[in-house]
């Protein structure tokens, strides 16, 4: 293991209050012991992180960033992080429910912690901490911008966020990850989500990292009685992107709607590993993913649905569809069902193919050029997911970001 | 033939039937009408033996036997038939196979020998014609991919093949066009005889124009609120069910 | 729990394993243990050439360095490979009988009891049969008639002696000795199994079938089957398996290799009814099997159909390597786990050639405390332009203690490939059972009817006479359970 991780840890420790040091040390040791995951581990079969062990990532210094105002979303409050640290000038939010992460504010892991989570727990210095009191509502959606600004030498940054909705609370949070510059950077994020009874949590995430960024994000959600979590993700950039989702239906009658689009190009490797855990009766989960893979990009989708013995009347459906647009592109998909009781209705489907030639022909017969016809169909393929974003400015931002990356003439809007 | 005495039933904590008393003699046709949620289908399924209903009071006698103590298949063996409002699809099991198994199971129940395969086919062919179904359909999975009308005709076909003595037809007329309605009615009338009894459970009066009932009962909130002759059905058609709220 | 579910579970408790008897006869069984000496002993018994013995020893050395796979969703105690006897044969078979008339009547009686009257079989046309009893083949019927057509059908130990060039050319080329732990073990200690060779342009005039029987206590069965279909030929092959009812587990680790050359077709069907153990999971066969077909030729086709009702644990993934352009692989499977049975089964379809097609239909039924996993891999290599796959994977659950998992891997490296995967898991339809019962059909028959309907897409792939057999077997296995 490169000594840079321990070196970064020493720096972090100096900035940490004494009370946090023990926990950070334990996590660092656990990380060093386990190392980065490699292909021999089933969950990492298609994504090998072991090369990271030999790279030297210094803890990122606060970076230079350009004017971000064009990225601001109208009608939102805003929290901005640059290279893993809070940026007060660009942030704008009312005091109260929204706050920055405090040491030790993170919940306890329910599932076994992977080594990346240990690394994050050892090194993360900042992040969002949102807590809503019962029956309250975030007036405006919260926009969390995380900007990575790589310098000449490889660097890394880490963030830990938590969102806690108490019974009956409601919130919409938009996470946007972007990069300023081309250098090599490692970003790990850990996001804790909790929706207590009857709460409604809406999470939207747009990831547009630069081609030198390796972004590893782990999401843990606990959704409780009659609560609903809507989670929508769009992955567009990055060098290596991995999203690990563990969504737990932790009380009866919980509901989780999970969806995502990945549209990697270049040599991007994007891996979405989702896990939905049904522990209680009457849970409903829906999962929809769309993949558009071009150039020499690789996409991995692994969606696991687990229905535990007492989770009767579980209703779960999952679907993933992929389009492969180039001879060097690759898709590995594995939808899994693990069912431990008989009173369930679970389905999953996975497809991989091309655009429907007949539909292209149909559009062309109406006078639409081939290029536009393709773009229109690709766009509509992804829109099945993106159309579910209720907050209009966020939906527009994401649709435009996607369109800009689709093959063909960018100015042609379907 | 059928004596329903002060029948009370629940599903879970919800009371559905609140003391139904009804007597149907051999040779009679009774219509049970009522608005949605009045308990019509519950009554039909209680007669056929569906699980999930709790009878809290009262009893059902069929030929003097306690019907509620019998399994669904034993009731069929005794000659009870329910035409389902929503016939079930069973992929991979052909209607032909279902019927042959059912006929032989019922014959066995009655101490008769199995029916000869050729006799059975002849028997089926004759009845398939009556309901104007393509015999090809009987090779498909039971009700698999059938339209609503085809499913209902399949119910009538099964009834004609099994020749039950007590027929309960649960909304068999709903969703049918006029031609299909006539086929269904013809099927019911074909089995009308002094030894048999028919219970028509329906929302509308339409079917009753083709199958003349002897008695009409109006069910509301799990109770029979009125009984009368065929003219009662016309009255309902004219006035709707709204007046029941006042009753 | 609803009434009907409780009733189903009561029904499920029944179920008799009718093939559970033991044939008492003098057997030549070597002492338990595995060593190079044991392998030399087996090889000498079979009068094998040196190249085969060398191959066995190389596989054994390799196996010693390998670790038992633990990734499958099955649980069982560590197997003591030194406690198993690797060779057992009835003494009466010391010199292989030349005809059925010379076969020990006790053995013929055994097969008669299992529903395979060999003597009558020989007279009736239809199916040619090789019967393997513990470690040896005791008889092969219709050999002369097949030879007239140029078809070779004999025990593999005999083929090694009679057709060494053919065996040497193909053996181990589809499943190499180091392929996996059990394949390596099999390559070291395999005893008997069938060899089939269909010459160019020949359509095999009858169904070929092998019946595997484990009889002796503490033995393992390690059979090896090799089927070669030359250009433009066709063969349909079926295997059946049973074993006595015993309290201890027994190991069955087979390897099956199929080779289909240009436009050849091989249809391989299995009705696996090894002793499943009792309702508490005592006894039963560990069925750890490697089966793979190589569509080497253009437009060739290999089709696997399996009905898996037996065994305490099943671990098998009959696979197809679709090398030839335009070749086709198929996998149709019904797996039933009842009581404490466990199954981790599925298939691998490896698309190498252009315009290759694969179809996977898997139907799993879990009852009682049965647990099963479908595990499948569809891999499309960059060379496989125009590849197509359709996968349908359904699980039916009967009773609240059973479990079903689905792990379908798809790996696509060609943009012209089209893959489609669908899966459902649900409990047996109570409304379907009620509907059947309201027509006068008993609950047990209704369960059987619904389950057989659920499996129909697979049963229809079986040769006619075996389809009936399979339906009966399902009924017995679910007896009580799924009538």
Q: Does B158 touch chain C (CB under 8 A)?
A: yes
In chain A the first and final C-alpha atoms are separated, in Å, by 49
pLDDT per residue as tens digits for the range A129-166: 999 999 999 999 999 999 999 888 999 999 999 999 99
Residues of B in contact with C456 (CB under 8 A): 91-93
Alpha helices per DSSP H over B78-227: 95-109, 117-130, 148-162, 178-191
> What would the two tokens of residue C97 be?
């009988």
Q: Are B81 and B49 in contact (CB under 8 A)?
A: no
Identify the DSSP state of C96. P
Of all residues in chain C, the percent with pLDDT exceeding 70 is: 90
> What would the two tokens of residue C119 be?
């003597």
Residue-level length of chain C? 483
pLDDT per residue as tens digits for the range C50-69: 999 999 999 999 999 999 88
- Burial class (CB within 10 angstroms; exposed 0-12, middle 13-18, buried 19+) of C165: exposed
Residues of A in contact with C426 (CB under 8 A): 344-346
Write down the pLDDT at residue C123: 54
* Distance to chain C for B19, nearest Cα, Å: 24
User: CB neighbours of C216 closer than 8 A, spacing ≥ 6?
Assistant: C27, C29, C85, C88, C134
Indicate the pairing of strand A330-339 with strand C388-398.
unpaired
Q: How many CB atoms lie within 10 A of CB C245?
A: 18
Helix (H, G, I), strand (E, B) or coil at A365: helix
Q: How many CB atoms lie within 10 A of CB C331?
A: 28
pLDDT per residue as tens digits for the range C282-312: 888 899 999 999 999 999 999 999 999 888 9
Nearest one of B246, B247, B237, B243 to B33, comparing CA atoms: B237
Write down the pLDDT at residue C55: 94
Beta bridge pairs of residue A324:
A293
Nearest one of A78, A58, A57, A82 to A69, comparing CA atoms: A78
Residues of A in contact with C8 (CB under 8 A): none
Residues of A in contact with C406 (CB under 8 A): 335-338, 348
> What would the two tokens of residue A76 be?
């939102």
Residue C125 has pLDDT above 60, yes or no: no
How far apart CA A228 and CA A248 sit, in angstroms, is 11
Write down the pLDDT at residue A229: 98
Q: Give the nearest chain A residue to C70 (CA atoms).
A: A42
Q: Does B92 touch chain C (CB under 8 A)?
A: yes
Q: Chain C interface, mutation test: which of A298, A337, A340, most C Cβ atoms within 10 Å? A: A337
pLDDT per residue as tens digits for the range C134-153: 777 767 778 888 889 999 99
Q: Does A41 touch chain C (CB under 8 A)?
A: no
Residue-level length of chain B? 247
Look-up of token digits 């696996």:
C272
Q: Does C6 touch chain A (CB under 8 A)?
A: no
**B–C: how many Cβ contacts below 8 A?**
91
Q: How many CB atoms lie within 10 A of CB B194?
A: 9
* Distance to chain C for A280, nearest Cα, Å: 15
Tens digits of pLDDT across chain B (247 residues): 999 999 999 988 899 999 999 999 999 999 999 888 899 999 999 999 888 899 999 999 999 999 999 988 899 999 999 999 998 888 888 888 888 888 988 999 999 998 888 888 888 998 999 888 888 899 888 898 899 889 999 999 999 999 999 999 999 988 888 888 999 999 999 999 999 999 999 988 889 989 999 999 999 999 999 999 988 888 888 888 777 666 5
Q: Where exactly are the structural domains of chain B?
A: 2-245
Q: What is the mean pLDDT of residues C67-94?
A: 84
Read off φ and ψ for residue A385, nearest 5 degrees: -90, -50
The CATH superfamily label for domain B2-245 reads P-loop containing nucleotide triphosphate hydrolases (3.40.50.300)
Q: Are A374 and A403 in contact (CB under 8 A)?
A: no
Average pLDDT, chain A: 92
Residues of C in contact with B161 (CB under 8 A): none
Nearest one of A212, A119, A225 to A166, comparing CA atoms: A225
CB contact under 8 A, C455 and B49: no
- Would you place residue C217 in the very low, low, confident or very high pLDDT band (cuts 50, 70, 90)? confident
Residues of A in contact with C424 (CB under 8 A): 345-347
Residue C121 has pLDDT above 90, yes or no: no
Read off φ and ψ for residue C85, nearest 5 degrees: -90, 130
State which H helix or E strand residue C55 sits in: helix C50-65
- Would you place residue C95 in the very low, low, confident or very high pLDDT band (cuts 50, 70, 90)? low
Identify the DSSP state of B135. G
CB contact under 8 A, B91 and C456: yes
Tell me, rounded to whole angstroms, the distance of Cα A341 from its chain centroid. Answer: 30
Q: Are A101 and A160 in contact (CB under 8 A)?
A: yes
How far apart CA C210 and CA C187 sit, in angstroms, is 20
Comparison of pLDDT for C477 and B32, the residue scoring more: B32
How far apart CA C123 and CA C113 sit, in angstroms, is 18
Residue A287 has pLDDT above 90, yes or no: yes
> What would the two tokens of residue C450 be?
């619904």
> What would the two tokens of residue C431 be?
């409304």
> What would the two tokens of residue A386 be?
């993106």
Look-up of token digits 């099956």:
C256
* Distance to chain C for A119, nearest Cα, Å: 27
Instruction: With an 8 Å CB cutoff and a minimum of 3 pairs, decide whether chains B and A touch.
Output: no
Tell me, rounded to whole angstroms, the distance of Cα C374 from its chain centroid. Answer: 16
CB contact under 8 A, B51 and C432: no
Write down the pLDDT at residue A410: 56
Dihedral, CA of residue A247, residue A249, residue A254 and residue A260, to nearest 10: 20
Q: Are C213 and C66 in contact (CB under 8 A)?
A: no
Residues of B in contact with C365 (CB under 8 A): none
Beta bridge pairs of residue C305:
C269, C332
CB contact under 8 A, C427 and A344: yes
For A:273-312, CB contacts with C below 8 A are: 309, 312
CB contact under 8 A, C449 and B88: no
User: CB neighbours of A354 closer than 8 A, spacing ≥ 6?
Assistant: A323, A324, A325, C415, C416, C418
CB contact under 8 A, C440 and B141: no
Helix (H, G, I), strand (E, B) or coil at C27: strand
Residues of B in contact with C435 (CB under 8 A): 84, 87-88, 90, 142
Write down the pLDDT at residue C167: 95
Which of C429, C442, C453 is opposite residue B141, by nearest beta carbon?
C453
Q: Are A131 and A66 in contact (CB under 8 A)?
A: no
How far apart CA B195 and CA B78 sit, in angstroms, is 13
Q: Chain C interface, mutation test: which of A342, A355, A356, most C Cβ atoms within 10 Å? A: A342
Q: Are B72 and C437 in contact (CB under 8 A)?
A: yes
Which of C404, C409, C422 is opposite residue A339, by nearest beta carbon?
C404
pLDDT per residue as tens digits for the range C434-468: 999 999 999 888 988 899 899 988 988 888 767 77
Which of A42, A309, A347 is opposite residue C423, by nearest beta carbon?
A347
Residues of C in contact with B48 (CB under 8 A): 434, 438
- Would you place residue C6 in the very low, low, confident or very high pLDDT band (cuts 50, 70, 90)? very low
Residue C255 has pLDDT above 50, yes or no: yes
User: CB neighbours of A125 closer than 8 A, spacing ≥ 6?
Assistant: A12, A15, A16, A84, A85, A158
* Distance to chain C for B158, nearest Cα, Å: 8
Write down the pLDDT at residue B65: 94
Q: Does B111 touch chain C (CB under 8 A)?
A: no
How far apart CA B236 and CA A248 sit, in angstroms, is 53
Q: Are A5 and A154 in contact (CB under 8 A)?
A: no
Q: Where are the beta strands (DSSP E) in C310-356?
A: 313-316, 319-322, 328-337, 342-351
Q: Chain A interface, mutation test: which of C366, C421, C429, C430, most A Cβ atoms within 10 Å? A: C421
Lowest mean pLDDT among A119-128, A136-145, B103-112, C243-252: C243-252
How far apart CA A165 and CA A144 sit, in angstroms, is 17
How far apart CA C386 and CA C399 sit, in angstroms, is 43
Which subunits have 3 or more CB–CB pairs within 8 Å of chain A?
C
* Distance to chain A for C367, nearest Cα, Å: 9
Q: Does C447 touch chain A (CB under 8 A)?
A: no
Q: Does B145 touch chain C (CB under 8 A)?
A: no
Residue C8 has pLDDT above 50, yes or no: no
- Burial class (CB within 10 angstroms; exposed 0-12, middle 13-18, buried 19+) of C452: buried
Beta bridge pairs of residue C27:
C90
CB contact under 8 A, A353 and C419: yes
Q: What is the pTM of this model?
A: 0.85
For B:37-56, CB contacts with C below 8 A are: 48-52
Q: Are C458 and C334 in contact (CB under 8 A)?
A: yes
CB contact under 8 A, A344 and C416: no
User: CB neighbours of A170 closer than 8 A, spacing ≥ 6?
Assistant: A132, A136, A137, A138, A199, A200, A201, A202
Write down the pLDDT at residue B246: 60
Q: Is the ipTM of this complex over 0.95?
A: no
Nearest one of B91, B10, B14, B119 to B56, comparing CA atoms: B10
How far apart CA C384 and CA C352 sit, in angstroms, is 5
For residue C308, the number of C-alpha atoms closer than 13 Å in the C-beta half-sphere is: 38
Which of B51, B91, B109 is opposite residue C453, by nearest beta carbon?
B91
Which of B52, B92, B102 is opposite residue C454, by nearest beta carbon?
B92
Read off φ and ψ for residue B238, nearest 5 degrees: -75, -40
Which subunits have 3 or more CB–CB pairs within 8 Å of chain C?
A, B
CB contact under 8 A, C407 and A336: yes
CB contact under 8 A, B88 and C4: no
Query: A84-87 — which CB contacts under 8 Å span 24+ positions?
Result: A84/A60, A84/A124, A84/A125, A84/A126, A84/A157, A84/A158, A84/A159, A84/A187, A85/A125, A85/A126, A85/A157, A86/A126, A87/A62, A87/A147
Nearest one of A259, A270, A261, A193 to A227, comparing CA atoms: A193
Write down the pLDDT at residue C126: 63
Residue A48 vs residues A44, A52, A70, A299: alpha-carbon distances, Å: 6, 9, 36, 13
How far apart CA C308 and CA A139 sit, in angstroms, is 59
Nearest one of A139, A144, A130, A138 to A91, comparing CA atoms: A144
Which of C419, C420, C423 is opposite residue A337, by nearest beta carbon?
C423
Alpha helices per DSSP H over A99-205: 115-123
Nearest one of B49, A320, A222 to C433, comparing CA atoms: B49
Residue A409 has pLDDT above 70, yes or no: no
Instruction: With an 8 Å CB cutoff and a minimum of 3 pairs, decide whether chains B and C touch.
Output: yes
* Distance to chain C for A363, nearest Cα, Å: 21
> What would the two tokens of residue B3 be?
């004596």
CB contact under 8 A, C427 and A343: yes
Which of C2, C3, C439 is opposite residue B102, by nearest beta carbon?
C439
Q: Chain B interface, mutation test: which of C1, C392, C439, most B Cβ atoms within 10 Å? A: C439
């Amino acid at each position: 293991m490169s000594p840079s991780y321990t070196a970064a840890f020493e720096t972090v420790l100096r900035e940490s209050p004494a009370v946090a040091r023990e926990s950070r040390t334990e996590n660092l040791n656990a990380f060093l012991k386990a190392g980065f995951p490699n292909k021999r581990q089933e969950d990492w079969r298609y994504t090998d992180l072991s090369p990271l062990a030999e790279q030297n990532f210094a803890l990122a210094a606060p970076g230079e960033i350009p004017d971000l105002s064009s990225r601001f979303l109208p009608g939102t409050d805003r929290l901005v992080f640059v290279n893993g640290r809070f940026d007060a000038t660009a942030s704008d939010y009312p005091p109260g429910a929204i706050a920055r992460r405090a040491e030790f504010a993170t919940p306890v892991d329910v599932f076994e912690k992977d080594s990346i989570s240990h690394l994050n727990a050892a090194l993360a210095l900042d992040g969002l901490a949102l807590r809503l009191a019962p029956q309250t509502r975030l007036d405006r959606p919260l926009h969390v911008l995380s900007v990575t600004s790589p310098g000449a030498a490889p660097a890394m940054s880490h963030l830990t966020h938590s969102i806690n909705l108490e019974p009956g609370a409601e919130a919409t949070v938009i996470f946007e990850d972007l990069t300023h510059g081309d250098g090599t950077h490692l970003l790990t994020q850990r996001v804790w989500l909790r929706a207590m009874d009857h709460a409604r949590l809406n999470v939207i995430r747009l990831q547009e990292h630069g081609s030198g960024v390796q972004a590893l994000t782990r999401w843990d959600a606990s959704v409780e009685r009659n609560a609903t979590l809507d989670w929508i993700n769009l992955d567009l950039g990055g060098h290596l992107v991995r999203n690990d989702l563990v969504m737990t239906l932790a009380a009866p009658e919980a509901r989780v709607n999970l969806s995502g689009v990945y549209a990697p190009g270049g040599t991007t490797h994007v891996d979405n590993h989702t896990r939905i855990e049904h522990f209680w009766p009457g849970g409903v989960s829906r999962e929809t993913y769309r993949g558009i893979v071009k150039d020499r990009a690789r996409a991995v989708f692994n969606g696991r649905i687990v229905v535990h013995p007492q989770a009767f009347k579980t209703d779960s459906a999952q679907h993933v569809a992929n389009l492969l647009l180039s001879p060097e592109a690759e898709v590995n998909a594995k939808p899994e069902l693990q069912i431990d009781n008989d009173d369930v209705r679970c389905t999953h489907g996975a497809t991989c193919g091309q655009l429907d030639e007949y539909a292209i022909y149909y559009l062309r017969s109406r006078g639409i050029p081939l290029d536009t016809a393709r773009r229109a169909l690709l766009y509509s393929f992804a829109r099945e997911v993106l159309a579910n974003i209720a907050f209009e400015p966020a939906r527009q931002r994401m649709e435009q970001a996607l369109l800009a990356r689709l093959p063909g003439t960018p100015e042609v809007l379907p | 033939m059928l004596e329903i005495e002060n029948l009370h039933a629940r599903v879970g904590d919800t009371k559905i039937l609140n003391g139904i008393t009804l007597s149907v003699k051999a040779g009679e046709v009774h219509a049970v009408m009522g608005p949605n949620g009045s308990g019509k289908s519950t009554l039909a399924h209680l007669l056929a033996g569906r699980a999930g209903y709790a009878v809290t009071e009262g009893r059902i006698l069929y030929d003097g036997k306690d019907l509620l103590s019998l399994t669904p298949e034993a009731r069929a063996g005794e000659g009870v038939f329910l035409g389902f409002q929503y016939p079930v699809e069973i992929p991979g099991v052909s209607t032909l196979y279902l019927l042959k198994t059912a006929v032989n199971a019922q014959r066995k129940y009655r101490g008769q020998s199995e029916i000869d395969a050729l006799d059975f086919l002849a028997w089926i062919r004759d009845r398939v014609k009556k309901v104007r179904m393509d015999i090809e359909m009987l090779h498909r999975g039971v009700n698999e991919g059938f339209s609503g009308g085809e499913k209902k005709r399949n119910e009538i076909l099964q009834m004609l093949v099994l020749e039950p003595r007590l027929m309960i037809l649960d909304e068999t007329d709903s969703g049918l066009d006029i031609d299909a309605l006539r086929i269904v009615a013809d099927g019911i009338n074909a089995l009308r005889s002094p030894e048999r009894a028919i219970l028509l459970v329906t929302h509308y009066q339409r079917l009753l124009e083709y199958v003349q009932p002897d008695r009409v009962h109006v069910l509301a909130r799990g109770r029979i609120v009125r009984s009368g002759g065929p003219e009662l059905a016309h009255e309902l058609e004219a006035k709707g069910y709204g007046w029941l709220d006042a009753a | 729990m609803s009434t009907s579910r409780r009733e189903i579970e009561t029904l499920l408790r029944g179920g008799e394993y009718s093939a559970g008897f033991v044939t008492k006869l003098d057997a030549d069984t070597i002492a338990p243990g595995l060593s190079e000496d044991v392998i030399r002993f087996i090889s000498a018994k079979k009068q094998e050439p040196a190249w085969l013995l060398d191959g066995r020893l190389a596989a054994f050395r390799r196996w010693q360095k390998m670790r038992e796979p633990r990734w499958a969703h099955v649980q069982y105690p560590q197997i003591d490979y030194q406690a198993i006897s690797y060779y057992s044969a009835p003494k009466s078979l010391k010199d292989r009988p030349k005809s059925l008339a010379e076969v020990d009547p006790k053995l013929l009686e055994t097969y008669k009891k299992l529903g395979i009257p060999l003597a009558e079989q020989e007279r009736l046309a239809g199916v040619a049969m090789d019967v393997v009893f513990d470690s040896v083949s005791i008889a092969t019927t219709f050999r002369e008639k097949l030879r007239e057509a140029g078809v070779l059908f004999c025990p593999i130990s005999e083929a090694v002696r009679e057709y060494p060039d053919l065996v040497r050319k193909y053996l181990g080329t589809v499943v190499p000795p180091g392929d996996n732990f059990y394949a390596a073990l099999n390559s070291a200690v395999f005893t008997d199994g069938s060899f089939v060779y269909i010459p160019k342009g020949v359509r095999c005039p009858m169904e070929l079938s092998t019946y595997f029987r484990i009889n002796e206590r503490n033995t393992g069965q390690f059979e090896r089957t090799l089927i070669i279909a030359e250009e433009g030929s066709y063969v349909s092959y079926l295997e059946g398996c049973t074993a006595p009812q015993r309290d201890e587990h027994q190991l069955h680790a087979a390897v099956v290799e199929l080779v289909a050359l240009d436009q050849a077709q091989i249809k391989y069907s299995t009705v696996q009814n090894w002793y499943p153990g009792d309702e508490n999971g005592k006894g039963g066969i560990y069925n750890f099997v490697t089966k793979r077909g190589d569509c080497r030729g253009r437009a060739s086709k290999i089709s696997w159909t399996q009905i898996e009702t037996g065994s305490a644990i099943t671990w098998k993934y009959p696979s197809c390597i679709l090398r030839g352009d335009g070749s086709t692989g198929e996998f149709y499977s019904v797996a039933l786990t009842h009581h404490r049975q466990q199954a981790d089964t599925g298939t691998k379809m490896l698309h190498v050639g252009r315009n290759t097609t694969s179809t996977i239909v898997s139907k799993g039924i879990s009852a009682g405390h049965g647990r099963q996993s479908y595990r499948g891999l569809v891999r499309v290599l960059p060379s496989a332009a125009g590849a197509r796959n359709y996968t349908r994977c359904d699980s039916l659950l009967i009773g609240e203690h059973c479990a079903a998992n689905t792990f379908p891997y798809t790996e696509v490296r060609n943009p012209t490939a089209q893959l489609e995967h669908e899966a459902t898991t649900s409990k047996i339809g109570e409304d379907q059972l009620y509907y059947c019962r309201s027509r006068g059909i008993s609950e047990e028959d209704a369960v059987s009817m619904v389950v057989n309907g659920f499996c129909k897409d697979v049963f229809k792939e079986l040769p006619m006479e075996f389809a009936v057999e399979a339906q009966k077997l399902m009924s017995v296995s679910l007896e009580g359970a799924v009538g």
